[in-house]
Amino acid sequence: MTIFKKIIDHEIPADIVYEDDLCLAFRDINPQAPVHVLVIPKKEITAVDALTETDKDLVGHIFLVLQKLAKELGLSDGFRVVTNNGLAAGQTVPHLHFHLLGGRAMGWPPG
């Protein structure tokens, strides 16, 4: 069981900013920007490379939640959505998650 599953089950605390039947959003414990929220599906999916056809609506829903949170959290100047897939990309928690980052200028390319 991952730490994110424990957050979904409310077994460990998190600063939750949004929750519905399909997903959960909470502030990253080690923020990399003034706004750094993670949006995760409640379904246990390890990463992008584990997605299947049955997850299409779920992923679409998560992106609309990302859009809504970006508005609510005041990121009208711009924001970044990041998902790391696998060790080489820096994924540390094997539960699919989308980083919503904003509130500062972002460099490109990412590291």
Q: Is 29 in the site for ligand AMP (CB under 6 A)?
A: yes
Q: Which residues are catalytic?
A: 97
Segment contacting ligand AMP by CB under 6 A, of 16-24, 25-33, 72-80, 103-111: 25-33
Rounded CA-CA distance 6/4 in Å is: 5
Q: Is 3 in the site for ligand AMP (CB under 6 A)?
A: yes
Beta strands in the chain, from DSSP E residues, in sequence order: 16-19, 23-27, 35-41, 79-82, 98-102
Q: Is 54 in the site for ligand AMP (CB under 6 A)?
A: no
Q: Is 46 in the site for ligand AMP (CB under 6 A)?
A: no
Whole-angstrom CA distances from 98 to 27, 47, 111 are 12, 10, 17
Give contact residues for ligand AMP (rule: CB under 6 A).
3, 14, 26, 28-30, 38, 84, 90-93
